[in-house]
Amino acid sequence: MNPHVTRRAMLKRLVVGAGGAAVANFGGLFNSQTIADEVRRSGKRCILLWANGGASQIDTFDMKPGQPTAGPFRPINTNLAGLQICEYLPRMARHADKLAVIRSMHTSEPDHPGGIYLMHTGYRPAVAVSHPELGAMTAKYCGSLDSDLPDFIRMGSTGNGGAGYLGPLYQPFGLDRNGRLSQFASSGSTPEAVRRRADLLRFVEESSAREHRAEPFQAHRLAQERAWRLQRTRNVFNIDQEWARARERYGDTGFGRNCFMARKLIEAGVAFVEVGQENYDSHADNFVCHKANMNILDPAWSGLLDDLHERGLLRNTLMIWMGEVGRTPGINNRVGRDHFVRGWTVVLAGGGVRGGTVYGATNPNGNGVRDNPVTEGDLFATIYTALGINPRVRHFVGTRPIWATPEGARVVREVLA
């Protein structure tokens, strides 16, 4: 018998959960893609704050006072004994006990497109396989296709990998620059007209469903229902009134507003939200750039942490702050810092994370990792573990098995709760 028939037959009876355990499937499943959806959900969520261009570790969370490359920013104490961070992150300094700072990132793609892909998928770009982004993987294993909202929503400059081999069900859903629903999300017709033609389409589907029962027909009909459900959620995206009150907490910036939107979406049950912040690629005027960026980042990030915490959402929401690269300790002749991948910083917080942790260290001048290097694969294995996703969960591209993280990736248990 054809082994692939066996596989399909097996999938119909068994649902293999993220943890690798087999769960009996009693529902009348129509489609193998939806099997993941039937797996018991962990309730985990994830927010990625993306520092597009690559933030400077020395000017934020891995300061080197006294070194020739230290730059003009001063370190300040945090609420975690022994941890100092940049003076322009004063509000975050009060949240240090919630953070796990990984200071020993050693990654393998020093430029933007490759680095953006790498730090969204855990893999270097490859010709033969397109890997899914973290958001797509989270959508698959933590999302719910029954939800009115997409499971993977993003704003601003973000990833370039999309859903990869996981397929269109887990494709990122982009909001426009202002965090509003983008083109095609609405027909522009009156609700009455929309309902009228929707009723007609539903009638056609019901009529044809009696004859056409193959899985793809059903998948199509469900996706159509999802498109309509999205229309019902329009008010989730309408935050103008609430923003008037929240802007003080998040800072009155576009990024702050998008972070507030992220909170609304997480609260509404979205599994993964990514918010991009621009302008970190400071090959010139590094300190001007970073000061301005931190003035935006500090209230937005800390406001989001406060907000999630107060609502009891932080427990189940993993927050990640990272970009595609770090920046050189050396300051170039344009007062800039260039790309650097041999010792940089990523910060985790919230669900699954052991707050108040500093993991790994760069050497005194910041020119490399001194202790406990963490690769992109290690980071992704750690992130997936925090989200309750098996880092070795396996998918197939054609006949070829692909794992969620590269072979040999190590979970950094020290930063996990």
Partner 1 sequence: MRLRPCAMVGLMALVAGPALLAAQEPPLRQRIDAELRAAWQREKLTPAPRADDAAFLRRIYLDLAGTIPSYEEAKQFLADTDADRRTKLIDKLLADPRFAAHQAQVWDLVFFGRNPPNGDATRKRDGFRKWLAEQFAKEVSYDRWVRGLLLAEEGDTGLFYVQYRSRIEETTVAVSRIFMGTQLQCARCHDHPYEPVTQRDFYGMAGFFARLTFSENAGGKQRRYTVGEKSTGEVLFSGSAKEQRPGKKGDPVKPKFLGGPPLDEPPLPKDFKEPKAPAKPLFSRKEKFVAWLTAPDNPYFTKAVANRVWAQFMGRGQVHPVDDLSDKNTPTHPELFQAMTRALAEHKRDLKWFIREIVNTDAYQLASTGKDADPLPPYYERARVRPLSAEEMVAALREGTGTNAANRLAGKPAPEGATSEYMARYFGEPTNGRGDFQASLQAHLFMNNSGNIRQMLYQRKGSLSDELAKSKAPWPDKVDRLFLTVLTRLPRPEERERFVAFLTSEPRADQLIQDAIWALVNCAEFRFNH
User: Which pair of tokens denotes residue 92?
Assistant: 């975050």
Q: Is 184 in the site for partner 1 (CB under 8 A)?
A: yes
CB 17 to partner 1: min, Å = 18
User: Which pair of tokens denotes residue 249?
Assistant: 């907490």
3-state helix, strand, coil in the chain (%, to 5): 40, 20, 45
Q: What is the DSSP letter of 127?
A: S
Q: Is 118 exposed, middle or buried (0-12, 13-18, 19+ CB in 10 A)?
A: buried
Stretch that binds partner 1, among 46-54, 169-177, 311-319, 368-376 (CB under 8 A): 169-177
What character string, x for contact with partner 1 (CB under 8 A) and - otherwise, covers 113-152? --------------xx-x-------------------x--
Q: Do 138 and 170 meet the contact criterion of CB atoms below 8 Å apart?
A: no
Distances (CA, A) of 364 to 73, 287, 343, 359: 17, 21, 11, 15
Stretch that binds partner 1, among 87-95, 104-112, 195-203, 259-267 (CB under 8 A): 195-203
What character string, x for contact with partner 1 (CB under 8 A) and - otherwise, covers 22-51? --------xxxx------------------
CB 320 to partner 1: min, Å = 24
Q: Which helix (H) or strand (E) holds 273?
A: strand 272-277
Which of 20, 65, 216, 364 touches partner 1 (CB under 8 A)? 216
Q: What is the 3-state secondary structure (H, E, C) of 134-153?
A: HHHHHHHHHCCCCCCCCCEE
Residues 225-254 that bind partner 1 (CB under 8 A): 226-227, 230
Q: DSSP per residue over 281-333, as a string? A: --SS-HHHHHHHHHHHHHHHHHHHHHHHHHTT-GGGEEEEEEES-EE-SS--T
Q: Is 108 in the site for partner 1 (CB under 8 A)?
A: no
What phi and psi, each to the nearest 5 degrees, are found at residue 336?
A: -115, 170
Q: Is 208 in the site for partner 1 (CB under 8 A)?
A: yes
Residues 61-80 that bind partner 1 (CB under 8 A): none
Neighbour count for residue 367 (Cβ, 10 Å)? 16
Look at residue 366 and give its three-state secondary structure.
coil
Q: Is 195 in the site for partner 1 (CB under 8 A)?
A: no
Look at residue 96 and give its three-state secondary structure.
helix
Residues 345-404 that bind partner 1 (CB under 8 A): 395-400, 402
Which of 2, 235, 241, 333 touches partner 1 (CB under 8 A)? 2
Which of 21, 200, 284, 288 touches partner 1 (CB under 8 A)? 200
CB 81 to partner 1: min, Å = 42
CB 386 to partner 1: min, Å = 25
Q: Is 154 in the site for partner 1 (CB under 8 A)?
A: no
Q: Is 224 in the site for partner 1 (CB under 8 A)?
A: yes
Per CB under 8 A, residues contacting partner 1 are 2-5, 8, 30-33, 127-128, 130, 150, 165-169, 171, 173, 183-188, 193, 196-197, 200-201, 203-205, 207-208, 211-224, 226-227, 230, 395-400, 402
